[in-house]
Chains A and B, each alone.
Chain A
Amino acid sequence: MSTTPLQPLTAPATVTSWYEASARTRTRLLLDPGSFVEFIGPEKREVSPHLKVFDLPEQFDDGIVVGCGSLGGAKVLIAAQEGRFMGGAFGEVHGAKLTGLLRGARDIGSMPVLILFDTGGVRLQEANAGELAIAEIMRAVIEARCAGVKVVGLIGGRSGCYGGGGLIAACCSSLAVSEQGRIAVSGPEVIETNRGTEEFDSRDRALVWRTMGGKHRRLLGAADAFVDDTVQAFRDAALALLGEAGGFGLEILTKEQARLEARLRDFGTCADALDIWSAMGISHADAVSSLPADEFITLADAFGRISHDAR
């Protein structure tokens, strides 16, 4: 353990954009003031062993901050990905830090884990190590949850939550997402490259967001809470979700399976998110994208699918 490398004391959490903030700023403002203690901090220089082979710059924390702190007075473990360093991608060290944190959580059994996702998926330059890391992390999430640990994902960064990140997010107890947050496995460009622009036009940003963005994920029940783009809103959501989410076992998984089957049955023929929203009974589906956060939350509470009964 090391002391906390502090960040400038600038804006408070209420006005700090989650989307714009760095992993360190998010961590500092999300937790109770001054409570964060970092594990394997940047001064340990535990950098990627692969990037130098490609003549690429390293980052001292390999793009992920892990540690512990308190949230509303209760102890939590926390991991925050830096979406600006290599798109927040999972490499060997980056992945191992998260795996270790989750295994620690499993062993302790009583401290919940917050994962601040901001990732495009596996790091191309260390693909094998990265893929293995994703598998290890998924297993570690499940093991932690089996040991009674709540694992909450927070998604609203500039790199979204893609690839293996999307898979890990799906293993979490619950997720909070903002409008800017995107959750998926294949990214827009990947889909377009493989299936053509007719299938998915990655430059049509409105299409990207209404397909993968926070609002759609919340309405579908893929995310449990929708929040405004401030660190304070994510903090409030994390506190609420830690109060709610819980349990893991066959019964929950069976319910989850039923929920997903129902979703496919109800919306499987819809060609666009707008069709899904209309099918949900939302009268002005085309206005959803432009709704401010508070109005959208009211709408989602009325129409959106709730997932936490299944998780």
Chain B
Amino acid sequence: MEDLSLRHATREPAGGTEAIAIVGVVASGNLEVLVERVLTDRECLVEIRTTAHGFDDVWTAVVADFVERYSPGGLKFSINDGGARPDTVSLRLAQAVRLMERAR
């Protein structure tokens, strides 16, 4: 397993008021993303545990694009990855943000 921790400053806080959400499952080519609204408004943290070694630069690129696009300020993302492809990772991250955007 490989651990990665990627911290970003965001333009603005994430929408919605949901405190927590989870999408996906840990399976071959899939991943789970647990999101918690636990950080300050302009801060985003993505912590990754992955079975695939040596893909740091791909993760870094995927997460940077994601943060740029969705500005998920205040959110901490915890990922358990079963070797998902970058497009699947992007999709799950986007799904997670969509869940958090709902009002309670």
Contacts and interface: CB of A to CB of B under 8 A. Distances in A.
Q: A and B from one assembly?
A: yes
B80 A57 contact: yes
Interface in A1-32: 2-3, 5-8, 22, 24
A57 B25 contact: no
Contacts of B23: 7-8
A125 to B, nearest CB: 14
A82 interface: yes
B62 interface: no
Interface in A80-119: 82, 84-85
- The A interface, classified by DSSP as helix, strand, loop or mixed, is loop
Interface in A129-180: none
B9 interface: no
A55 interface: yes
B27 A60 contact: no
B80 A43 contact: no
Contacts of A24: 22
Interface string B7-48: 000000000001111110111001010101000000000000
B1 interface: yes
B49 A6 contact: no
A42 B99 CA distance: 16
Given A22-B25, A85-B27, A8 B98 contact: yes
B34 A8 contact: no
Contacts of B22: 5, 24, 42, 60
A59 B1 contact: no
Given A57-B49, A60-B34, A6 B21 contact: yes
Interface in A252-294: none
A42 B34 contact: yes
B82 A57 contact: yes
Contacts of B19: 3
A60 B36 CA distance: 13
Among A2, A52, A84: residue with most chain B CB under 10 A: A84
A57 B26 contact: yes
Residue from the set A7, A41, A42 with the largest chain B CB neighbour count within 10 Å: A42
A43 B25 contact: no
Interface string B60-93: 0000000000000000001011100000000000
A2 B18 CA distance: 13
Given A7-B99, A41-B20, 5 more contacts: A5-B22, A8-B99, A55-B51, A58-B49, A60-B78
Instruction: Return the 9 tightest CB-CB contacts between A and B, nearest first.
Output: A5-B22, A59-B26, A84-B27, A84-B25, A57-B26, A42-B22, A85-B26, A57-B80, A85-B25
Interface of A: 2-3, 5-8, 22, 24, 41-43, 45, 52, 55-60, 82, 84-85
7 contacts: A6-B99, A7-B99, A8-B98, A43-B36, A45-B78, A57-B81, A59-B25
Interface of B: 1, 18-23, 25-27, 30, 32, 34, 36, 49-51, 78, 80-82, 95, 98-99, 102
